[in-house]
Amino acid sequence: MKKNRGKLVFILITVLVSLYFLYPTYKDYQLSKEARSLTGDDSTKFVESHDKEIRDAKAKRIKLGLDLQGGMRVVLEVNVLKFLDELAKNKDDQFHQIFAEVSEEAKASELDLVDLLKVKFEAKQVRMSRYYGLIRDTDDEVVTKLKTESTTAIDRSVEIVRNRVDQYGVSEPSIQKQGNRRVIVELPGVSKEAEVRQLLQGTALLEFKLVIDPEIASKVYQSIDRTLAGKPLEDTSKADTAKTDTTGNMASNDTTGDQNLTEEQAKKQHPFFYLAGTSSQQQNWSGELFSAEENKAKVMAILTRPDIQRLIPSDMGFVWSAKPGITAEGKKFFTLIPVKKTAELTGGVITNAKSTIDPVYNSPIVEMTMNDEGAKNWARITGSNIGKHVAVIMDNACYSFPRVQEKIPGGQSRITGMENIEEANLLSIVLRAGALPAPVDIIQQTSVGPSLGEDSIRQGVLSSLLALGLTILFMIFYYKTGGTMADIALLLNTLFVLGVLAAFQGTLTLPGIAGLILTIAIAVDANVLIYERIREESVTGKSLTAAIDAGYTRAFTVIFDSHLTAIISGIILYQFGSGPVQGFALTLMIGLISSIYSSVIISRVIIDILTERGTHVSFG
């Protein structure tokens, strides 16, 4: 008994420790059950009074994988290509060509993008410093600079994503960097896919740009229109060439002074205005154009043509409205606003953003405050542009272009034009957390609804219990008393695996439950090995105690070897797998290790105690 006392105590300790770690899971289950059975006021009161308990339990219980509790898992990849593209300055045709080649090759190549860029530049014998870094930088210096910048950008992106997710308010989110370009975001219990996507992907680049003077804009439009129609470029300012209905009939405009041109003729004579109408006749026209939804692409194609580009002043750019408007007939149209290419102010100066409802117009707005330097600049900009319009642009989409009424000294500004308060909310979160330095793509997304998760849990638990039950019965039937001992060890084994999972906050997935079941099988195997051995030994005439001794000793090496091979399998699987499969590998490995412990030590101790007491332990 003495030699076993130590072991017994140890076993007891491990059992208690496991129970301790599993208690929160049980508590959480109880609390949620109670909370669900109450309704209305009772329920809220219950949650409030037990708030701390509930939160503690939730924090320490076994983490359920997304396939069991529902939620979203998104893998983001930083688009280094776009990042490098945006970093470059003085981009010209040569640059675009080289970059196009790089984009093509990047799809197939495993090379670091910066290296690939260097190779391409070298092939064309162009110095990288023409577009990146300082003039005197050698190619290698530029490469180092670019690489450092991309790594910093990636790290900052991870941080910003983390910030955004934190602010979004998900319980137990998980954000991890993977490799050197990816971020894995897991949001349990979240189902609003579109919102999450917007939250994660929006670069949140906020820009304030001055709207170009309507007169200048008008001249540019006319010259574009004439070029497209094949007419000469002189400024025959027939003031009525730009007449149109403002709100109605966007797609079929009467754009000429002669009100009775047919559609075909209008299209031929004023091809540009046919696609993008103006309301220049109206007094408060600020230079914008209106285009039906289906014509957007065509208009952009025109504006980016090299011959048309020559007609547009170098500091003039265009930006589309973020939201479409709806005509009286229900057609959607977008507004195209001519703005100065360089932003007067960017989102970096925003210190706070709050979403709220404007009391006057009863519409959702985001109110922003700036830092000191931003406020100073903003005061200057507003002060010197009174009467002009400033476009508020987010991620290259214009939300509004209000008129500057007066100088704004306090660094306040606002974004209007959102559809609902949720959108305003998202915008404010994204502004607060900061702009993503580099654009991110969603390369993988999984979203599981809660009902599917519940089904999975039910099936998992059912099959585990069934498997456990049958195994236990079999062991008792075939190995009699020895079998019962093994069964106790088996149950404790399952307890240990769950306890370890809870203690280390590992995640239980549906394949993980399969792994648990498999562990039962393997634990049984260990016991079978031992008992068969014992049977063999007793047949050779040894006493029971001696046989038991021999059985355990001899079997140990085998158990160890065989379990080890399975553990190696598990490690490899954990390394190469992802998501739920890793959960399987984890539970398998934990199960294997604890099965060595439970089958060799626990059942042995129990059997020893029994034999010493004189109980005849039979092994079938």
Residues forming the site for other proteins (CB under 8 A):
67, 75, 193-194, 197, 201, 441-449, 451-452, 455-456, 459-460, 462-463, 466-467, 470-471, 474, 478, 510-511, 514, 517-518, 520-522, 524-525, 528-529, 532, 536, 554, 557-558, 561-566, 568-570, 572-573, 575-581, 584-585, 588
In single-letter form, the type of residue at position 385 comes to N
Closest CA to 255 of 246, 264, 266: 266
In single-letter form, the type of residue at position 34 comes to E
The answer to whether 180 and 65 are in contact (CB under 8 A) is no
Nearer to other proteins by Cβ, of 175 and 349: the residue is 175
Nearer to other proteins by Cβ, of 503 and 528: the residue is 528
Nearer to other proteins by Cβ, of 308 and 442: the residue is 442
Nearer to other proteins by Cβ, of 21 and 584: the residue is 584
Whole-number Cα distances in Å, 30 to 27, 54, 431, 456, 513: 5, 10, 40, 20, 21
Least distance to other proteins from the beta carbon of 529, Å? 6
Nearer to other proteins by Cβ, of 85 and 525: the residue is 525
Give the Cβ contact number of residue 284 at 10 Å: 7
Whole-number Cα distances in Å, 477 to 398, 470, 482, 486: 76, 11, 10, 12
- Where helices occur in 245-333 by DSSP H, the ranges are 263-269, 271-275, 296-303, 306-309
Burial of 582 per CB tally in 10 Å (0-12, 13-18, 19+): buried
Least distance to other proteins from the beta carbon of 588, Å? 7
Give the Cβ contact number of residue 176 at 10 Å: 11
Least distance to other proteins from the beta carbon of 104, Å? 15
Helix (H) or strand (E) segment spanning residue 206: strand 206-210
Nearer to other proteins by Cβ, of 212 and 588: the residue is 588
Q: Which residue has the tokens 């068969």?
A: 532
Least distance to other proteins from the beta carbon of 527, Å? 9
Least distance to other proteins from the beta carbon of 321, Å? 21
Least distance to other proteins from the beta carbon of 478, Å? 7
The answer to whether 531 and 617 are in contact (CB under 8 A) is no
In single-letter form, the type of residue at position 443 comes to I
The two three-digit tokens of residue 470, written as one number: 């049958």
Nearer to other proteins by Cβ, of 343 and 573: the residue is 573
Pairing state between β 412-415 and 440-448: unpaired
Nearer to other proteins by Cβ, of 233 and 571: the residue is 571
Question: Half-sphere exposure of residue 4, counting CA atoms within 13 Å on the CB side?
Answer: 14
Nearer to other proteins by Cβ, of 132 and 552: the residue is 552
Least distance to other proteins from the beta carbon of 535, Å? 9
Least distance to other proteins from the beta carbon of 569, Å? 3
Least distance to other proteins from the beta carbon of 468, Å? 9
Helix (H) or strand (E) segment spanning residue 593: helix 580-596
